[in-house]
Amino acid sequence: MVSPYCTFCGIVSGRLPSRIRYQDDNILAFHNQLDWVPTMLLVVPRRHVSQQELWTSGDLLAAMGKLAVRLGEESCPNGFRVLSNFGSDGLQTQPHGHLHIIGGAPLGLYLRQRGPYLH
């Protein structure tokens, strides 16, 4: 199912522009419009699913993970991250399930090692 209000569904359908890096019958990978680090790619299923549905899908997530690792190794030979955001506290901004591939520069720590949230 394609959602008419979903940015990623718009990219999958070709209604919105993107720089596609990979595509097959089930998956699309494209460059993120954000440019915080040299490599920022997104891997999405062609079918609209939530993050939770994606992460419990089994075969789809496995195929997307394999692609993410391949693209990360090709784009960032010194290392990269594959990640997903869940919910507002996790900074999820798109309802369409997806993986981020980021790298091409030293990425630093996720959070401060000490502080009010880490003991």
Instruction: Please give the positions annotated as active site.
Output: 98
Distance CA 68, CA 74 (A): 10
Measured distance CA(60)–CA(21) in Å, rounded: 18
**Are 81 and 103 a contacting pair, CB within 8 Å?**
yes
